[in-house]
Structure formats: structure tokens, C-alpha cells
Structure 1
């Protein structure tokens, strides 16, 4: 196991049907093959790479929506996993692997982190959303989590600063992807492109060399649509070698969790209650 498992606390509560109905159209706008936010500003194209080769990711809008998670304060050597911004009504959600984080206490996120610098600032993680399947039995087929982040020191929501990469669902098991991640002993983002294959009914895998511990939670971005169709996690917490990575398959299970996270992250703190995540796997 090359990636550390951290137990994730349960987050459960009933959804208010009326408010969920009002939020649903906005929430669903972030799910699909592509949204306007998947397109790089100013017409900047995604990088073109030699397949199955790992390089330092150049700074670009898509890459800068990915960042490192830090614990115990921001600084070199303190990051432990990778996450990325996904669309939400408030603009305050990240996607990562569920095994990455067990408590939001002392955890911050730095999008576009590079060489000890946080070019866009940092955002505190304030809440974690995981499925019942992960909470109760650490189901590797549900190794994904949404993180709610608070506003930065200037009062800005993270999506308003860097944008968001949309979530893709039910994508073909065989797909070209760009794989991002921050190794825990490095201070630059890694990038590799290759074609995914099916590993099991609810997981996919990819060969990309030299993705060590710390890259867990890194997004798999479909080269055709710009949508996130996986995160490093799943089997053996993402893989038992640094050269092959795994991801849970994104289907209705993550859709339900995503809607739940968007709803609860849209409720003002004074009226928030613990949320109840989806309990039915892969339906």
C-alpha cells in the first residue's frame, strides 16, 4: 500500500426536499461531459504530452484547479494528498480520495501549489462528505470524498478565483485521461496522459510512471471532454506500485454524494446540521 488510509468520520442528516429541488438544476450543471468552466480561459489549450510519460505539469487553468492538501499549516513538506475544485452553487467544493482525510481540523488546500508558493492563496477545509459504504466498511469502490472549504482571508470562494473542472459520470472504462498529482516529497504537480482500462466492475486503472504517496486524490481528467472521471484511490488506496494507479468508477453513487455535498455546503453555517450521505452503492 503506497497511500495512507485515514478513517473518515460519518456525515449524516436528512435533506430538505424543497431546498434540494431548488438546488438540483444548479447542482446538475456541474455534472456531465463538459461545462463552460472546463474550457481554459483566453483559449489556452490543455498540454499535449507523450503518452505514459510523467512530467512536471505546466501552470494552466485546468492544472491550477488542482492543488495540494496540507496539515498543520501551509509549507513545504506538509502536504499529504491531492484534490481539485469541482463546480457547486456556492463555489466551495473539492474532490479527493476518501482515504486521504479523516478530519478537517488543521487541513488547508492550495490550488496551483508550486515550489513552496500558493499563487492563488489557501482555503481551510471545514467539512468532509463520504458515502455510507466508505464510512462503514472502507469500500474501495467508494474511495472518493467531497470537501467543503471556507472562504479565504479575502472572503473569496475558491471557485470564483480558479474556476472548477466539471464532474463526468458513466464514462467509458477505456478513455484517454490527464492524471494530476502531488508527490508528498515534491513541491511541483505531476502530469501524465494515458488510456485507462477496466480493473473491475466499479474501478478503472491507468499506467503512469512515478506517482508516489501524496498523489492520492489526484483527478483523472478526460482528454476529450475536460471532465473529471476519477481520482487516484480505490484498490490498495490507489495502487501498490508507483507506476499503476486506480480509481473508483464514477456512477450514481458519486452523483448522490455530490448532490448531498452541494446542498449542505449551500446552507449557512448557523443552520447547518450533519448530513446523511448516500447509502446505496452503485445503483
Structure 2
């Protein structure tokens, strides 16, 4: 049964222009001057630079959350994680205020949902969030089924794979973030070192991660170590983002979702 929560708008600001575009332009100019091959130079952007996410196995597991369907606009991000029934996604708890009308489109790009549209059938949120919107509990998991194929339909993990979940990461872990700003029709990505804002909140500096990127996976060596959210709903400026530390409570919540048959 889907648990209803009060809807909480994504407080992350909208995009204010693409600083990343200026950085990439500068790299292109340097390439022309030095003879560096541009595609190779841009294959792995410098830490702290936000750019377009490559259409690869990683971004296929990440998708946008839509209100009512593809015509309703996307407002948050989620990702597929490994589970026994191969049907679980992870996002920020504050993204699931209206679960009955929330749909997930993995690998969404330019108006197309290559792996279909998926609806939520169950939700797993910590009591700390439902009782008082504790930012340390701003992570949630949900089970999904393909729209129109609820009985014996495909499993999402069979189509795109799923991220393992990894807790207890070091304070200075290098994290990759992949997410969908609300005004963009394809995902952005950024990697950078992180610091602990507090014992329960992690901080990263990546530009242009504006409204809509809440719920984006924070990946350490390809494993989910958090989601964009937590302190200030994930941050009130697009240059600084937060994630609740993946602690024992979040791990137990994940196990409950992943083992639920």
C-alpha cells in the first residue's frame, strides 16, 4: 500500500545560466591552441565541472520523476538500485509527496522514455521523515511496475541494471552525481570530492545542480552512497548540494524495500 505524504516542493533554485557551458567553451579554446584531442579531453571532465551526462549504462539507471506522466513535467530525479525482485528505485523522501501521481522514466532524454514509464506501487520512508521531515531521513525507496503491464510485466532492473548500495563512505569520498534539472530534457553529471557538513550530512561543490536534481544518486565507485537532499532540501543554491549520510537507518530501509516480495 502506498503511504501518502504531504507534498513538499523542491526548494532548489532553477538554473541561472550554464557556467558549465562556459567551462567547456574554454576547454575547446585551449584544445585549439594546444592540439589536445577534444573528445578525449572531455571524456572525464575535471572535478567540480558539471556537463551533459553521457548516454551510457550509468545514466540509463537514472531517470526523471514526472507529475502525472510525461506531459506533466519532471520535478525530481531517482535511480534504480539492486533488489531481490529487481523493481526498486531510490530518491529523496521529499520527492514522494504525491506517490499516486508520480511516474519514473529511466534514461529519459529529449522527450523520450526509452525504457518506458513506471508507476509506484509501494514506498519505504523512515519514520523520522513522515513524523517531522527530519533532513537526516530524506531518503526513500519505492517499488515500481511498468505502466499498462502491471501483471507479469518486465522488471526495471532487468532492463537497465541497478546500483548496489554502499554505506559508511569516508568523509572525503569522491562522488559522482547524475540528475535532471527541471528545465533540462537530458541529465547532467558532476564529480567532486566531498566533505562532512555535519556527522549526518555530506556536502559537495558542483555548479548548476538546480531544482529537479533532488533525489539524484550520489555514486562512489558505481555504488549508491546517498541521494541529493537532506539539509535545506538538498541546498538553496545550485553550486552547493547535500545528501544525508547513508547510515544504519537508511540501510535498513533499503533492505526492507529490496527484500520485500
Distance in 2 of aligned mates of 1:131 and 1:118: 30
Q: Show the counterpart of 2:35.
A: none
**Superposed displacement of residue 153, structure 1:** 4.1
Q: Show the counterpart of 1:162.
A: 160
Question: Unaligned 5+ residue runs, structure 2?
Answer: 1-5, 9-42
The reply to whether residue 244 of structure 1 matches residue 240 of structure 2 is yes
Q: Show the counterpart of 1:269.
A: none
Distance in 1 of aligned mates of 2:121 and 2:183: 25
The reply to whether residue 126 of structure 1 matches residue 155 of structure 2 is no
For residues 138-158 of structure 1, what are the alpha-carbon distances to aligned partners after superposition, in whole Å with 9 as ceiling and x for unaligned? Answer: 110110000110145451010
Distance in 2 of aligned mates of 1:195 and 1:54: 13
**Over alpha carbons, which structure has the higher Rg?**
2
Contact 2:85 2:259 (8 Å CA) reproduced: no
RMSD of aligned alpha carbons: 1.4
Distance in 1 of aligned mates of 2:194 and 2:99: 31
- Tell me the TM-score normalised to structure 2 length: 0.81
Q: Show the counterpart of 1:6.
A: 7
Q: Show the counterpart of 1:66.
A: 62
SS at match of 2:204: strand
Distance in 2 of aligned mates of 1:173 and 1:249: 10
Question: Unaligned 5+ residue runs, structure 1?
Answer: 8-46, 267-283
Describe how 1:32-43 pairs up with structure 2 within 5 A. Answer: none
Describe how 1:166-181 pairs up with structure 2 within 5 A. Answer: 166-181=164-179
**Superposed displacement of residue 63, structure 1:** 1.2
**Superposed displacement of residue 103, structure 1:** 2.9
The reply to whether residue 261 of structure 1 matches residue 254 of structure 2 is no
Match of 2:230 among 226, 231, 234: 234
Q: Show the counterpart of 2:218.
A: 220
Distance in 1 of aligned mates of 2:168 and 2:83: 20
Describe how 1:10-89 pairs up with structure 2 within 5 A. Answer: 48-75=44-71, 78-89=73-84
The reply to whether residue 135 of structure 1 matches residue 133 of structure 2 is no
Match of 1:105 among 86, 96, 100: 100
**Superposed displacement of residue 62, structure 1:** 1.0
For residues 242-277 of structure 1, what are the alpha-carbon distances to aligned partners after superposition, in whole Å with 9 as ceiling and x for unaligned? Answer: 11000000011111111111233x1xxxxxxxxxxx
**Superposed displacement of residue 137, structure 1:** 1.0
Structure having the higher strand fraction is 2
Match of 1:208 among 206, 218, 223: 206
Distance in 2 of aligned mates of 1:159 and 1:226: 15
Contact 1:57 1:189 (8 Å CA) reproduced: yes
Match of 2:189 among 191, 195, 210: 191
Contact 2:124 2:253 (8 Å CA) reproduced: yes
For residues 11-32 of structure 1, what are the alpha-carbon distances to aligned partners after superposition, in whole Å with 9 as ceiling and x for unaligned? Answer: xxxxxxxxxxxxxxxxxxxxxx
Structure 1 moving runs of 4+ over 4 Å: none
Q: Show the counterpart of 2:145.
A: 150
